[in-house]
Amino acid sequence: MTIHREGYPTIAISALAFALINLSSFYFISAHAAWLSYILFFVTLAVWLFLISFFRVPNRKLTVGDNLIVCPADGKVVVIEEIFDVEYFSDKRIQVSIFMSPANVHQNRNPMSGEVVYNQYHKGKYLVAWHPKSSTENERHSVVLRNSHGEILVKQIAGALAKRIVNYLSVGQKVEQSAEYGFIKFGSRVDVLLPVGTKIDVQLNQVVQGGVTVLATW
């Protein structure tokens, strides 16, 4: 396991805060209320360890297959439905949504190999990630990948806690399946828009792993 580079500043600042809070606590409080200092220590330690865990990047055997579309994120499948996409395709698509809790790995991976043909950031609200309107009203970053099988749209969506979406792709870039393409800080969601008729290989409420679980098959 490694720590994602997006976590270095947050972990460093939180480590400094952890040290300052606890040094102050043991200097000013421990003599009069040692129990309070110990509680503060364990609470702040738990928060710091959580932040380290949040930015973890586990070692995995990644899935690669020309006819496969893999999950772009860790989490739980919360939506599988047919929708009408107004952002890019202007036609019906199958939407598969993966909800990422704060406990999930938040690194995002390319569902398939291909070329980036669309990359657009949208400002928006911060509705809870499982809200039906979060796909169209929340802050989000959409990317369309194209290969010989067709096009899919992958949408990083900010949630009530997620305040920063990181996307490393650019139009014209060639990408490899299961390679990293972005990161979302704290609770969030990723939508994948697939052509109607695509074989879906996941079920509602299924727990999936980014870059590992097969989402669909061409």
Tell me the per-residue pLDDT of 95-114, one tens digit each, with 9 for 90 and over.
999 999 888 888 999 999 99
Q: Please, which pLDDT band fits residue 137 given cuts at 50, 70 and 90? A: low
**What percent of the chain lies above the pLDDT cut of 90?**
61
130 within some domain:
yes
- The residues, ordered by sequence, that sit 6+ positions from 88 with a Cβ below 8 Å of its Cβ are 118, 142, 144, 153
188 within some domain:
yes
63 within some domain:
no
What pLDDT sits at residue 72? 97
Average pLDDT, the chain: 89
Examine the domain organization and report whether 37 and 100 are in the same domain. Answer: no
Q: Over 80: is that where the pLDDT of 218 sits? A: yes
What pLDDT sits at residue 7? 78
Question: What are 174's two structure tokens?
Answer: 């060639």
- Least reliable range by pLDDT among 20-29, 59-68, 99-108, 135-144: 135-144
Q: Over 60: is that where the pLDDT of 129 sits? A: no
41 within some domain:
yes
What pLDDT sits at residue 93? 97
Q: Please, which pLDDT band fits residue 201 given cuts at 50, 70 and 90? A: very high
Q: 98, 117, 99, 112: which is closest to 169 by C-alpha? A: 117
The whole model's pTM is what?
0.85
What pLDDT sits at residue 55? 85
CB contact at 8 A, 176 and 110: yes
Q: Over 60: is that where the pLDDT of 162 sits? A: no
Give the Cβ contact number of residue 41 at 10 Å: 16
62 within some domain:
no
202 within some domain:
yes
Examine the domain organization and report whether 48 and 94 are in the same domain. Answer: no
Q: 213, 165, 216, 212: which is closest to 187 by C-alpha? A: 165
Q: Please, which pLDDT band fits residue 50 given cuts at 50, 70 and 90? A: confident
C-alpha to C-alpha distance for 21 and 28, rounded to whole angstroms: 11
Active site residue 188: yes
Q: Please, which pLDDT band fits residue 62 given cuts at 50, 70 and 90? A: very high
Full residue range of the structural domain in which residue 39 is found = 2-57
19 within some domain:
yes
- Name the active-site residue from 14, 135, 178, 188: 188
Examine the domain organization and report whether 46 and 134 are in the same domain. Answer: no
Residue 180: CATH number of its domain: 2.70.70
Give the Cβ contact number of residue 92 at 10 Å: 13
C-alpha to C-alpha distance for 71 and 107, rounded to whole angstroms: 11
What pLDDT sits at residue 127? 62
Examine the domain organization and report whether 52 and 76 are in the same domain. Answer: no
